[in-house]
Amino acid sequence: MNAPVLTREQREAKLEGMGCKRKRVEDIRFTQGKGNYVDDLKLPGMLFGDFVRSPYAHARVKKIDGSKAEKVPGVLAVITAETLKTVNLAWMPTLAGDVQMVLADGKVLFQNQEVAFVVAVDRYAAADGVEAVEVEYEDLPALIDPFKALAPDAPLLREDLKDKMTGAHGPRKHHNHIFEWSMGDKDLTDAAFAKAEVTTKDIISYHRTHPTPLETCQCVASFDKIKGELTVWGTFQAPHVIRTVASLLSKIPEHKIHVIAPDIGGGFGNKVGAYPGYICAIVASIVTGKPVKWVEDRIENLTATSFARDYHMTTEIAATRDGKVTGLRVHVLADHGGFDACADPSKWPAGFFNIVTGSYDFPVAHLVVDGIYTNKAPGGVAYRCSFRVTEAAYCIERAMDIMAQKLGMDPAEFRLKNFIKREQFPYHSALGWEYDSGDYHTAMNKAMEAINYKGLRAEQAAKREAFKRGETREIMGIGVTFFTEIVGAGPSRNCDILGVAMFDSCEIRVHPTGAAIARMGTKSQGQGHETTYAQIIATEIGIAADNIMVEEGNTDTAPYGLGTYGSRSTPVAGAAIAMAARKIKAKAQMIAAYMLEVHEDDLEWDIDGFRVKGLPEKSKSMTEIAWAAYNKPPPGLEPGLEAVSYYDPPNMTYPFGAYFCAMDIDVDTGVYKVRRFYALDDCGTRINPMIIEGQVHGGLTEAFAIAMGQEIRYDEMGNVLTGSFMDFFVPTAVETPNWETDFTVTPSPHHPIGAKGVGESPNVGGVPCFSNAVNDAFSFLGTKHIQMPHDYWRNWVVAEGLGLHK
Amino acid sequence: MIPGPFSYHRPKSISEATGLLADLGEQSRVLAGGQSLIPMMKLRLAAPEHLIDIGAIAELKGVQRKGSTLVIGATTTQHELQQSKVATDAAPILLEASLLIADPQVRYVGTLGGNVANGDPGNDMPAVMMCLDATYRLTGSGGSRSVKARDFYQGTYVTALKPGEIVTAIEMPVPPAGHGWAYEKLKRKIGDYATAAAGAVLTVSRGKVATCTIALSNLSDTAVLATDAAKAVIGTALEKPAVEAAMKAARAVMSPASDTRGTSDYRIHVGGIMVERALKKAFSRAKG
Ligand SMILES: Cc1cc2nc3c(=O)[nH]c(=O)nc-3n(C[C@H](O)[C@H](O)[C@H](O)COP(=O)(O)OP(=O)(O)OC[C@H]3O[C@@H](n4cnc5c(N)ncnc54)[C@H](O)[C@@H]3O)c2cc1C
């Protein structure tokens, strides 16, 4: 039976390839409660582990007595650092070149640090066992304020490093110092400042917060003593890296370790690193010979697994009186907590913070980052951003506003005046990056028109007058932001994690009937890879996206890759997908030529197959070619139709965007209302506009949370004050503003499909936009820089300080 | 986030429940909607050995109007309260305040009795009950008694409830027709307790406030009746000086702790503003 003849448009539409608003295929299971998460896993005889945690931020651990706990019905073992020492696992390496205690070894360095691991037959018995463990502590003075860390008399936190004055990134200048990292030209920058007409200098802090995925960190470890094989199911954003690290630590050969990341309920950077829970579950499984599950609760997630930010950035801009920037100087005090557990590429202790010159043509710049220890939880992960890029974007976008204010210039105009121009790309920044492509002026002008920027400013001017006359207690702020990101880590010449180069991979197998399976080294945590990756393949080789299964997360079947974070999936794995598809297409062309009895060069690609040039009726569809590939391959060509590609990107990609926000603040209560938020994103080629929009909505919601109240806050004793959702701000649909999205398209010149990555842009650009709006609201009353987060109370404190409540 | 071990009882009658409480003693605890108790158990801040779930006791449910008195069964949920025209017609402040409590999920199971018996200053209903001059019916194995909401609260989690007693019903005089009401609550987000909240119930005669009660939530270690603040507006048409005097008097009885919602001085400042807003809204709603 012949299928009806389809028009070209119909054939194209059927593929649901790139550019199509294809509905997310994974949502069919997610919205019906049929996802398969780590905690859904139930194995025969499975045990549960739970942690005894430190109530103190800094204390000596004098004694751990597990004897009562071991008598609790159902409790099988209490594991301490002493137990772990017998297998040389009391400490573990971090991704940042530091070491971290798995369980408290002599002292604790942050509140809720893991002290002992109780293994029991179920989670209830484990929790009762935790209650019964007796720990004797000797309280030590806690160091919480990063600005006091390097004082000569600051308490010594890391006794293990006392005599080690060289760390993974060079010399340490104090017992609480981790590294100093610098970029740029100091002398030229100093010279630019010496002759500058106008300068600004401000401490711009980006407070500590937390990625807070809906699903917390968790794993099940199962060691098979007979086979000597270890299987670990876990919430891993980078499963292959976990496998390699597990092999290096446990000495189990890598082929006998099976790491599987099933469905993941959000990651945002929280699930990149390795945590004590994983190590303890693995050791417990090796010791007991049974599978052991560890599941973090919300408080544990917020207080112990990786935080984000905590960057304190002294920022100076030099400019001419007429508003041209001439130099940038930034010093960062980077608070890493008790251990340096940042998840950055290994050679980048402050990530890609040197993107801090942003979208502007700074002739010179100099950057120094000092990493320090405090008595807070370890981490420093990229919470929905490329490594330290959101800190950098916040820093420059606030600083540009401060300078505009000082110059008496409109912040949008000031930006337009200093943008890198379209013809300057590829652009070499003063801090060492090569920006691939951009058209900032077009994007900014489009955005300003879309929101009627002039109109908003006029409205604001009128409202300010009314405020001064006492007719309203509301002030209006307009947030302006233009960010440039750097994503897609990354080229092997400068990016690796513990020596593993940061390529990514894809393997595609086309089955005889023309359906296909594709596997990658990345791992979706909600980004929609199953949907978008199939769209890339659909466009590249003409198989309908619905006939392509995308599978990730099983290290036995997926090709090696570095996982998903830092918006690297599309820039790196997305490129590998296109390259693997193109290998398949090349073979398909040979087969089609044989089938059509023409020379390969006489064929051209046409949506979903090859046709003979000039004879469009002579064609072979990909389905026909696939069948032939297996069953009637050309003589001399081996059967089958599959390909693997490992992609080492030549450069990063540089997405950008223009964001605007209009907000009103009631000076009597501090209550704000976001009236409008407009986000224009340029992420190069757009694979699935609906998914892009969804990513932007989600990222903006996180940005809104962070800027307006979300924080991990400690008191001076080191107690976490925001350890649950009562106090850690996660907005609901009620608080979340309405998002207006827009775009321009400036493809990446070096990426096979021109795509740049978008998942993190809204978090990166959103935070400064909200903060700039609050700052802009108050600026006419004489404020210069107001630190985040801008919750109601803090807004009120600003108003109080301005004498507005008299 | 896993509670300690406990046993669970589900009595069918008030007497069975009070009997269980008497027999099991100190280590037993009434469970109503569980929306305050269960979180505390999960944090192991509470570790009762016996939970007496009063959810199956039919006598504790329902809303009735008996003449000029409104009687609300203790296990009536916030959602049921909101749906009860009898209750919300008689005292619309019940609806306004109830809708500001937590979120819909919590309100489907959280009960009015639990809210008033809990003794947390963050609960919203105690202040509303003070405004309405409600009375709680308490029953123990030894019999029943009544305590006014205004006399019930002694400190954080300390109330007039004696061991073994259950709140069985909340009774209140129906406010006069044409009264004005308002409950104003400042919170950080849906599901949050008040940074500051104030309720006001008043009557107006010839354009002037005739009677007025004001009560505050989460601004002290218990809900408080702001008597002087109410006095300050009686006989006025809420002119600026009267409102300012009321705010000042109300602020004088506030002593909130500093917490992540803000410092004590912030909460007192906005507490005054909640009083102002509640008064103005109540006044604008009143007829007379
Ligand atoms: C996320 C969240 C947000 C919340 N926000 C708010 C809010 O904004 N405002 C607010 O007011 N509340 C809030 N609550 C609390 C909620 O309203 C509870 O439902 C209420 O405090 C207790 O009622 P319950 O029926 O759940 O009682 P339970 O939790 O079952 O019991 C609470 C206490 O009262 C005792 N008790 C219960 N019923 C009786 C009775 N009939 N007689 C004697 N003792 C009794 C119990 O023994 C226990 O000590 C929130 C709760 C959550 C989980």
**Is the distance from the beta carbon of residue B102 to the nearest atom of ligand 1 less than 6 Å?**
yes
| Whether residue B115 is found in the same domain as residue B40 | no
Quick one: CA dihedral A410, A411, A412, A418, positive or negative?
A: positive
CA closest to A720 among chain B residues: B260
User: What mean pLDDT comes out for the span A360-366?
Assistant: 98
| pLDDT at res. A2 | 63
**Is the distance from the beta carbon of residue B52 to the nearest atom of ligand 1 less than 6 Å?**
no
Identity of the amino acid at A538: A
DSSP run (H or E) holding A576: helix A575-596
pLDDT at residue A3 above 70?
no
Q: A343 falls in which pLDDT band (50, 70, 90)?
A: confident
Determine, yes or no, domain membership for B1.
no
pLDDT at residue A407 above 90?
yes
Pocket mutation for ligand 1, best pick of B14, B29, B115 (most atoms within 8 Å of C-beta): B115
| pLDDT at res. A566 | 86
pLDDT at residue B124 above 70?
yes
Å from CA of A230 to ligand 1 middle: 46
Gap from A671 CA to chain B (nearest CA, Å): 9
User: What mean pLDDT comes out for the span A66-85?
Assistant: 98
CATH code of the domain covering residue B122: 3.30.465.10
CATH code of the domain covering residue B227: 3.30.390.50
- Final residue in a domain of this structure, among B131, B154, B173: B173
Average pLDDT of every residue of chain B: 97
Å from CA of B152 to ligand 1 middle: 16
Nearest to A526, CA basis, from A26, A17, A41: A26
Determine, yes or no, domain membership for B98.
yes
Identity of the amino acid at A231: T
* Chain A residues inside the 8 Å CB shell of B273: 668-669
Identity of the amino acid at A230: L
Determine, yes or no, domain membership for B80.
yes
- Final residue in a domain of this structure, among B125, B153, B173: B173
Gap from B253 CA to chain A (nearest CA, Å): 19
| Whether residue B149 is found in the same domain as residue B197 | no
Distances (CA, A) of A715 to A312, A417, A722, A726, A793: 18, 43, 10, 17, 17
Q: A442 falls in which pLDDT band (50, 70, 90)?
A: very high
CA closest to A667 among chain B residues: B270
CATH code of the domain covering residue B26: 3.30.43.10
Å from CA of B35 to ligand 1 middle: 5
| Whether residue B46 is found in the same domain as residue B81 | no
What is the number of structural domains in chain B?
3
**Is the distance from the beta carbon of residue B84 to the nearest atom of ligand 1 less than 6 Å?**
no
Residue A760 is among the residues annotated as catalytic for this protein: yes
Distances (CA, A) of A451 to A445, A454, A679: 10, 9, 10
Put the strands of the sheet holding B196-205 in their side by side order. B180-186, B196-205, B208-217, B224-225
| Whether residue B123 is found in the same domain as residue B165 | yes
| Whether residue B98 is found in the same domain as residue B135 | yes
pLDDT at residue A1 above 70?
no
Contact between A669 and B273 using a beta-carbon 8 Å cutoff = yes
> Tell me: the pLDDT tens digits for B213-247?
999 999 999 999 999 999 999 999 999 999 999 99
Across the A/B interface, how many CB contacts are shorter than 8 Å? 58
| Whether residue B140 is found in the same domain as residue B206 | no
| Whether residue B72 is found in the same domain as residue B129 | yes
C-alpha span between A757 and A749 (Å, rounded): 14
Determine, yes or no, domain membership for B2.
no
Å from CA of B81 to ligand 1 middle: 15
User: What mean pLDDT comes out for the span A82-110?
Assistant: 96
**Token pair in block for residue A491:** 């080229």
Distances (CA, A) of A115 to A80, A142, A252: 7, 18, 26
| DSSP-assigned letters across all residues of A741-803 | EEE-----TTSTT-B---TTHHHHHHHHHHHHHHHHHHHTTT----PSP--HHHHHHHHHHTT
Residue A388 is among the residues annotated as catalytic for this protein: no
User: What mean pLDDT comes out for the span B116-125?
Assistant: 98
Determine, yes or no, domain membership for B184.
yes
Radius of gyration from C-alpha coordinates of chain B: 19
**Is the distance from the beta carbon of residue B272 to the nearest atom of ligand 1 less than 6 Å?**
no
C-alpha span between A440 and A107 (Å, rounded): 52
Residue A237 is among the residues annotated as catalytic for this protein: yes
Q: Which of A294, A665, A667, A793 to mutate to test the interface with B (most CBs of B within 10 A)?
A: A793
The reported pTM is 0.97
| pLDDT at res. A399 | 98
| Whether residue B168 is found in the same domain as residue B196 | no
| Whether residue B127 is found in the same domain as residue B158 | yes
> Tell me: the pLDDT tens digits for A146-202?
999 999 999 999 999 999 999 999 999 999 999 999 999 999 999 999 999 999 999
Q: Which of B6, B41, B189 to mutate to test the interface with A (most CBs of A within 10 A)?
A: B189
Nearest to A499, CA basis, from A347, A351, A386, A339: A347
Evaluate whether B60 touches B172 at the Cβ level (below 8 Å). no
C-alpha span between A516 and A509 (Å, rounded): 5
| Whether residue B156 is found in the same domain as residue B211 | no
* Chain A residues inside the 8 Å CB shell of B193: 726
Contact between B266 and A793 using a beta-carbon 8 Å cutoff = yes
Q: Where does residue A709 rank: exposed (0-12), middle (13-18), buried (19+ CB within 10 A)?
A: buried
User: What mean pLDDT comes out for the span A505-511?
Assistant: 98
**Is the distance from the beta carbon of residue B117 to the nearest atom of ligand 1 less than 6 Å?**
yes
Write down the residue that tokens 């060492």 correspond to: A432
- Final residue in a domain of this structure, among B173, B201, B223: B173
CA closest to B267 among chain A residues: A793
For residue B142, the enclosing domain spans 58-173
Q: B288 falls in which pLDDT band (50, 70, 90)?
A: confident
> Tell me: the pLDDT tens digits for A676-702?
999 999 999 999 999 999 999 999 999
Determine, yes or no, domain membership for B115.
yes
CA-based angle A537:A538:A541, to the nearest 5?
75
| Whether residue B208 is found in the same domain as residue B260 | yes
| Whether residue B208 is found in the same domain as residue B136 | no
Write down the residue that tokens 């997926």 correspond to: A558
> Tell me: the pLDDT tens digits for B4-59?
999 999 999 999 999 999 999 999 999 999 999 999 999 999 999 999 999 999 99
Among the listed residues A385, A495, A661, A769, the single catalytic one is A385
Contact between A713 and B260 using a beta-carbon 8 Å cutoff = yes
Average pLDDT of every residue of chain A: 97
C-alpha span between B285 and B288 (Å, rounded): 10
CA closest to B259 among chain A residues: A721
10 Å Cβ neighbour count for B181?
A: 24
Determine, yes or no, domain membership for B247.
yes
**Is the distance from the beta carbon of residue B36 to the nearest atom of ligand 1 less than 6 Å?**
yes
Determine, yes or no, domain membership for B28.
yes
